[in-house]
Structure 1
Amino acid sequence: MRDGKRAVLRVYLAVGCGAAVGSMLRFLSGILIVTVMGLSALWATGFVNVLGSFVIGLFAALTGPDGRLLVSPAGRQFVTGGICGGFTTFSAMSLDTFILLLQGDIPLAGLYLVLVVALSLVAAWIGHMVAARLNE
């Protein structure tokens, strides 16, 4: 197999393996937040989206062209596309919001959607800013 094909295969495998790790972490965080802590599943979905946004902002800046960490393309995709992609869940957030709308709780649906999106963006920005400081 040519080196180019091996490199592409490594990236695919990295994303797949990272997604498995991220999905398991999301599942376990849901158990912790809902079953152990007794909070609503809305908290679990919001938590993984905000934390995942922080991690991807931090890692992308740490491993970018001006970053402090030298990571292979496969390693970068393992974390960003794989772990963070498997951990965060736009689809669950959409379903949660849709269910709230079906239940007629329009104010909570709007608040939930705006808060999760806004907090996720702020978390990504904070992650990026932390990494920028570390990169100095």
Structure 2
Amino acid sequence: MGPFVIRTALTGFALWVVTLIVPGIDFVGGETTLHRIGIILVVAVIFGLVNAIIKPVVQILSIPLYILTLGLFHIVINALMLWITSWITDNTTHWGLHIDEFWWTAIWAAIVLSIVSWGLSVIIPESTKPARQI
């Protein structure tokens, strides 16, 4: 449970940083800071689920485009995952992640999210060793 909470918090933090840097992407809802943090964490969980369930299927179906673009299509896939997360929260709740337009907003958000996530993984590395049980 601990690694899941840490991963969700880091993803939420990375998404929050993206909303500060990229115009056109924002979190909607939450009157207080505590509500806003809760919304960010729920959006992070939804984003994680979208990446775990939908992204592998889309990646397999787009292998020719990965080859054709020498891997740059990965940015478009990441933008699509952000867009799907935004669509889910926009259409099921009155709060969540809102992206103005796909092409430039989601693309720049995907690039910034990749850079921020990479920076966080450098600062806070994941443990590669399983926990030792006695």
Q: Taking structure 1 as the reference length, what is the TM-score of the superposition?
A: 0.33
Which structure has the highest strand share of the two? 2
Q: Which has the higher contact order (CA 8 A, sep 6+)?
A: 1
Which structure has the highest helix share of the two? 1
